[in-house]
Each structure stands twice: as C-alpha cells, then as structure tokens.
C-alpha cells in the first residue's frame, strides 16, 4: 500500500468465478465492498468470441454503471509444411488479434470513453490514453427543447482532459495514471504529467487514487472518472498485460461472421442479483451457472491440432525469451567493456600527463641519494662509558652598582660597598671591581635570588642578566 490514508480499491474474488468484488478503504478504515465486476457467462451462445465485463454497485445488484465489450478480429495462422502435414490438411482455427484500443460505455449520463493503446518504439513501454470531458451534465432547465439536446460531453468543442496509463517499466506489470494535458476541438496542449492513480498488479491487485492531485483535475463527473480508472485498469490487465485465449471465449457458440453484430434478445426472465449487459448480449440475462465443460465435444483431430499449435506457441515464446536474455547479456557485456576501455583511457591520460610534467620540470629534487652517515647523538642520561664534559665559560667583568651601599648577607664593611656581585657560589669571597676574575666552578646548589638596590643583576650561571624587580608591583 502506498499510503493507508489514500483512497484504495482492492480486487478480491468472490464465490462466483465470474464476479470480482472491489473493496474500498481510506484513512485506515476497514475495507468494505464498493463495486462489483461481472463478466459474461461463457456458456451462452451469444458470448462466443467476445470479451465483456461490467461494473456495478455492490449494494444494488442488477444495476450497471459502466461496461466494456471487445470483439476482436481473427486471422489465419501461417503454418509450416510439416505442421500442415501433421494436421492432415485440416485448417487451423483462427487466432484472435488483440485490438489497439477499446471503448468504455458509461451510463447516467451516457458517455463513451475510448482507450487508445500505444507502444514506444524507443523504450518499448506501453501506454493507454483516454479523454474525459470537463462538463458532462446538462444545466437544469424546464424547456423540453433543452432536455432533448445531447449532453455537453458529446460535443467536440467541449474541453477534455487527457489521461494516460503508463507501465512503470518494460518488465513490470504495475501502472501509473497521469493527467497529461487538455484538448479542445482536436487540438491538444501538453502539460507536465500529474499523478492521478497507481495500479499494483501483484498478488493483491489494487488501484490507489492519488487524492492530493485531484484538486487540479477539472472534471465535473468525478464518479465517471473513478469508474473509468477502475474498469480500464482491469481490462488492460486481462487483455494486454496478462493475455489469455480464454479471454475472448473461443470455445463457445459458432462464430458470427458479421462484424460488430448484436445477437437477438431472448425472452428469458432475468435472474435476481445478476447484471444485464446490454451491449454484450442484448437484453438476455446470464443463464444458470453451469460447468464450463458442458460444451460440444471437440473432434480428436481438432484437439491434436490445437495441442500442436499451443506447443508451437510455447516454443516460440521460449525462443523469444532466450533471445531477449541473450540481448540483455550482450548489452551488459558491452557496458562492461566500455567501462574497461574508459578506465584504460584514463590511465593512459594520467601516464601521458606524468611524462609531460617529467620532461618539463625534470627529476631534480626528487632523488635525494643515499642517506648520509651522521654521528650518533649524545644520550640524555650519560652512562659510565661516556664521561660528562664540563665546559668552563669565563664570566664577564662586573658592572658598577648605580645605587648606594647595600647590606651583604655575609657581612662586610666599607670595602664591600661597590662590589658588583654578591658572594659567589659555595661561599667564595666577593671580587673587587676591576680585579682578576677566577673561573667559576660548577655548584649543584641553586643560585641566590638577586638583591634589590641594583638596576641589573648578573647571575653566576651562563652570564644571564635579570631585570631589577620593583618593590611596589
């Protein structure tokens, strides 16, 4: 299900094999029977070589809302000489030709909608197009002359909305109905496709109406549009998507050579709860349900010829399927070869571009040569086999102190006022200004903090100079 809130019709079989119930659900409600699809009884002599189906209300039996009648043309199959000899000169039965389109007859108001089938020669997709007039009902009038006139939808000047069923893909049985444009007096205007309905032909057949887009559909007869969507989806599925020989009831009464003929109505009284297909069998209702095998016996030679013909058709379908499979495999193989060629072409382009850049810029700077033999780096933790080297750096001469005499931590008199440095590490005596400077010795103790009173102080390690620290900040 696309969305449980959208209006959806489910096709479910009933006790009668010729009847199908359409259950309706919306907004997650429980499905309830809404319409009934009724096919013509194949045992009737009037049903020979015909396909007839009608749709009516599930609550009101015996009332037809719309119906479809298809009478195909027949052709004589072309047989080979071996098949003709096998049939002993008996001509094969005619084969029905599936028509290009069909007509849906709507009632109250009476209106005919022609479904025209098309097949794209480029993509192979099939589509079925039909038109619904914008105005279908006459305006209320007390005039007898106005009531005798035909409905507005029958006029060629009435604007009509164009719809089209499209298959989702060539190998899919699902379809989508689009509103494609408008036609007035035979002139069509193409508009962007707008989704109207979706048909799922899987195990559970269903038709979902895409309600959000119905506001853009300017059709007066919304009920008629709904009936056309449901009935056309069923006919397309049985005749075009899943064709079968039993669809046209070829084993019924003798064929009528007169084309588009109508059988003579009989005077049999109708049964209750049954449809009366006026265009299919006149006013004659379906007879009592009887077994489909209650028919005239088929001659043995006809049965053998039919068996051979069916076997030939099966073989032909098998050959066509194998041909399609081989064509698909060939297409996939060509696609893979094209991808491989494209990959090789890209690699060749990369190689050419690399060679061009190589010729233009050369190879300088890309080959660094052999790695040089560098001496080993010293270890962070010296071992016993690697002695520690003590490098003695001579200290610079001390600068004179610009401030007054400062008290010394280890005492001193007048002769120690103008010394430029404090006592050295390890309790060494202070050095006089301008005197010889001994080489400092390594001292594991930390340096004392510079004393206030001087502009700059020089530390005893490394000759670093510290800026005077303020006593206020």
> Which is higher by pLDDT, 281 or 357?
357
> Which is higher by pLDDT, 444 or 193?
193
What confidence tier does 342 reach under pLDDT thresholds 50, 70, 90? very high
Measured between alpha carbons, how far apart are the two ends of the chain, in Å?
83
Listed residue (428, 435, 22) closest to 234, CA to CA: 22
Asked whether the predicted pLDDT for residue 185 surpasses 70, the reply is: yes
Read off the tokens for 300. 């043995």
Asked whether the predicted pLDDT for residue 216 surpasses 50, the reply is: yes
Per-residue model confidence as pLDDT tens digits over 131-161: 999 888 877 777 777 667 766 766 667 889 9
Predicted local confidence at residue 264, as pLDDT: 37
Tell me if the bond preceding 109 is cis, omega within 30° of 0.
yes
What confidence tier does 230 reach under pLDDT thresholds 50, 70, 90? very high
Buried residues in 252-287 as b, exposed as e (16+ CB within 10 A):
bbeebeeeeeebeeeeeeeeeebbbbbebbeebbbe
129-135-136-138 Cα dihedral, nearest 10 degrees: -160
Predicted local confidence at residue 85, as pLDDT: 75
CA–CA separation, 21 vs 171, rounded Å? 28
CA–CA separation, 221 vs 230, rounded Å? 15
Predicted local confidence at residue 294, as pLDDT: 39
> Which is higher by pLDDT, 195 or 302?
195
> Which residue bears the tokens 């029977």?
33
Asked whether the predicted pLDDT for residue 36 surpasses 90, the reply is: yes
Asked whether the predicted pLDDT for residue 363 surpasses 80, the reply is: no
CA–CA separation, 129 vs 457, rounded Å? 104
Q: What is the average pLDDT across 375-389?
A: 60
Which residues, in sequence order, are CB contacts of 117 under 8 Å at separation 6+? Answer: 100, 101, 126, 127, 128, 240
Asked whether the predicted pLDDT for residue 246 surpasses 90, the reply is: no
**Do 190 and 183 touch, CB atoms closer than 8 A?**
no
CA–CA separation, 306 vs 300, rounded Å? 10
Q: Which range among 69-78, 100-109, 384-393 shows the weakest confidence by mean pLDDT?
A: 384-393
The whole-chain average pLDDT of the chain stands at: 75
pTM of the model: 0.53
List of E strands, 168-233: 175-184, 187-200, 206-209
Predicted local confidence at residue 390, as pLDDT: 58
Q: What is the average pLDDT across 235-247?
A: 85
Q: Which range among 2-16, 69-83, 317-331, 439-453 shows the weakest confidence by mean pLDDT?
A: 439-453
Predicted local confidence at residue 254, as pLDDT: 40
Q: What is the average pLDDT across 443-470?
A: 53
CA–CA separation, 110 vs 101, rounded Å? 20
Asked whether the predicted pLDDT for residue 62 surpasses 90, the reply is: no
Per-residue model confidence as pLDDT tens digits over 394-433: 677 776 665 555 555 554 444 444 444 444 444 445 444 4
Furthest CA-CA distance within the chain: 157
Residue 238, CA distances (Å) to 26, 31, 98, 243, 245 in order: 26, 24, 11, 6, 11
Predicted local confidence at residue 433, as pLDDT: 45
Q: What is the average pLDDT across 299-316?
A: 80
Asked whether the predicted pLDDT for residue 130 surpasses 50, the reply is: yes
Q: What is the average pLDDT across 423-447?
A: 50
**Do 42 and 239 touch, CB atoms closer than 8 A?**
no
What confidence tier does 247 reach under pLDDT thresholds 50, 70, 90? confident
Q: What percent of the chain has pLDDT over 90?
A: 30
Predicted local confidence at residue 287, as pLDDT: 39
Q: What percent of the chain has pLDDT over 70?
A: 65
CA–CA separation, 111 vs 154, rounded Å? 7
Predicted local confidence at residue 235, as pLDDT: 94
Predicted local confidence at residue 414, as pLDDT: 46
Q: What is the DSSP string of 1-51?
A: ---TTS-EEEEEE-SSTTEEEEEEE-TTPPPEEEEEEEEPPTTSGGGTT-E
| Beta-sheet pairing, 456-458 with 206-209 | unpaired
């Amino acid at each position: 299900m696309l969305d449980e809130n959208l209006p959806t019709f489910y096709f479910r079989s009933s006790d009668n094999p010729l009847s199908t119930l359409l259950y309706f659900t919306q907004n997650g409600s429980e499905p309830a029977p809404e319409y009934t699809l009724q096919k013509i009884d194949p045992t009737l002599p009037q049903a020979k070589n015909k396909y007839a189906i009608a749709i009516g209300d599930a609550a009101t039996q015996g009332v037809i809302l719309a119906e479809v009648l298809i009478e195909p043309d027949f052709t004589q199959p072309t047989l080979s000489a071996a098949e003709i000899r096998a049939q002993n000169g008996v001509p094969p039965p005619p084969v029905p030709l599936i028509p290009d389109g069909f007509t849906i007859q709507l009632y109250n108001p009476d209106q005919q909608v022609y479904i025209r089938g098309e097949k794209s020669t480029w993509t192979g997709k099939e589509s079925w197009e039909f038109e619904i007039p914008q105005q279908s009902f006459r305006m209320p009038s007390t005039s007898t002359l106005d009531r005798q006139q035909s409905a507005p939808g029958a006029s060629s000047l009435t604007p009509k909305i164009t719809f089209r069923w499209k298959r989702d893909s060539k190998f899919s049985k699902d379809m989508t109905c689009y509103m494609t444009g408008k036609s007035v007096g035979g002139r069509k205007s193409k508009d962007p496709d707008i989704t109207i309905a979706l048909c799922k032909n899987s195990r559970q057949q269903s038709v979902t109406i895409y309600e959000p887009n119905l506001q853009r559909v300017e059709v007066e007869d919304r009920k008629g549009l709904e009936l056309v969507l449901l009935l056309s989806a069923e006919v397309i599925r049985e005749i075009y998507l899943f064709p079968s020989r039993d669809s046209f009831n070829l084993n019924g009464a003798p064929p009528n050579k007169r084309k588009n003929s109508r059988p003579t109505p009989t005077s049999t009284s109708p049964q209750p709860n049954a449809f009366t297909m006026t265009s299919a069998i006149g006013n004659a209702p379906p007879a009592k349900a009887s077994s489909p095998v209650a028919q005239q016996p088929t001659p043995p030679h006809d049965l053998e010829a039919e068996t051979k013909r069916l076997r030939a058709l099966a073989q032909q379908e098998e050959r066509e399927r194998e041909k399609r499979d081989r064509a698909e495999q060939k297409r996939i193989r060509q696609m893979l070869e094209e991808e491989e060629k494209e990959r090789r072409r890209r690699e060749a382009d990369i190689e050419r571009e690399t060679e061009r850049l190589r010729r233009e810029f050369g190879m300088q700077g890309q080959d660094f040569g052999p790695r040089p033999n560098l001496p080993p780096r010293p270890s962070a933790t010296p071992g016993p086999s690697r002695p520690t080297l003590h490098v003695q750096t001579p200290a610079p001469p001390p600068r004179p102190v610009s401030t007054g005499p400062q008290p010394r931590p280890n005492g001193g008199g007048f002769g120690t006022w103008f010394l430029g440095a404090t006592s050295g590490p390890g309790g060494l005596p202070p050095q006089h200004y301008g005197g010889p400077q001994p080489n400092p010795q390594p001292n594991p103790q930390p340096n004392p903090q510079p004393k206030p009173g001087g502009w700059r102080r020089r530390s005893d390690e490394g000759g670093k100079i510290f800026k005077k620290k303020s006593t206020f900040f």
